[in-house]
Amino acid sequence: MLEDYPRLGGSVVADDVTRQPLSGLMSGPVVFSVPAALAYRELICGAVAAVCRVLGRRARGPAIQELERFTNELVSAVGEAFNNSVIHAYAGRAPGFVELELSWTADEVTVEVRDTGRALDLDSVPPPDLSMPHERGMGIYIIKSLVDDMRYTAGTPNVMTLTKHAHTFLGLPSEPGPRPPP
Ligand SMILES: Nc1ncnc2c1ncn2[C@@H]1O[C@H](COP(=O)(O)OP(=O)(O)O)[C@@H](O)[C@H]1O
Ligand SMILES: [Mg+2]
């Protein structure tokens, strides 16, 4: 599934080819802002996948599987959150923007999804009836099941914060590049 997303982080390729460190580890955060329309979902999902790919560029062996699973799960969670901002927060309102901020440490990635639409009342969202799964009403449940922590703060903007732990591929030290000629 990773290959489904465009390699927005073209520098990954250059890095692999030249074996030059990308200025060490990126410290972030990075922010993406798109109009609140479903047409931008693919772009947002691709951007999240690209950041994961860059963060995991030193992964080898089993860490590659964790990177792939991590990326697919984070992309799915962010995709649901993005859908909700577009469909629910701006319902009946002039569509604004959805902003994503990605930051990371050596063992977790955090994504803030921000909108300036109607606030979500998390307490009023009932858990889905899993004995009769429906197409609607699964998004919040899916998000919670794919990340380690989900918080929501209503305001201007409203902020949904998703945090996901990674154990094997974040914070790997850069491999040394070729020595410069004397
Ligand atoms: N970002 C949001 N802003 C405002 N309301 C939201 C937001 N996300 C979810 N909601 C509300 O919570 C409900 C449940 O969301 P979700 O579980 O994703 O199911 P669905 O999107 O299929 O209705 C939505 O129907 C909507 O009323
Ligand atoms: Mg939804």
Tens-place pLDDT, residues 91-150: 999 989 999 999 999 899 999 999 999 999 999 998 888 887 677 889 999 999 999 999
CB of 13 within 8 A of CB of 66?
no
As a whole-number percent, the residues of the chain with pLDDT over 70 amount to 80
Please tell me whether the peptide bond between 173 and the residue prior to it is cis, using omega within 30 degrees of 0: no
Point out the ligand 1 atom lying closest to the alpha carbon of residue 117: 3
Q: Which of 150, 93, 98, 90 is nearest to 122 (CA)?
A: 150
Q: Give the distance (Å) from ligand 1 centre to CA of residue 156.
A: 18
Q: Which residue's CA is the closest to the ligand 1 atom numbered 1?
A: 85
Structurally, at CATH architecture level, domain 2-6+27-165 sits in: 2-Layer Sandwich (3.30)
Q: Give the distance (Å) from ligand 2 centre to CA of residue 121.
A: 13
Q: Give the distance (Å) from ligand 1 centre to CA of residue 168.
A: 33
The pTM assigned to this predicted structure is 0.84
Give CA–CA dist 44/46, Å, rounded: 5
The pLDDT value recorded for residue 98 is 98
Does ligand 1 lie within 6 Å of residue 157's CB atom? no
Q: Binning pLDDT at 50, 70 and 90, where does residue 23 land? A: very low
Q: Which residue's CA is the closest to the ligand 1 atom numbered 10?
A: 120
Q: Which residue's CA is the closest to the ligand 1 atom numbered 9?
A: 84
Pocket test residue of 44, 84, 111 for ligand 1, highest count of atoms within 8 A of CB: 84
Phi, psi values for residue 178, rounded to 5°: -65, 145
Say which ligand is closest to the CA of 79.
2
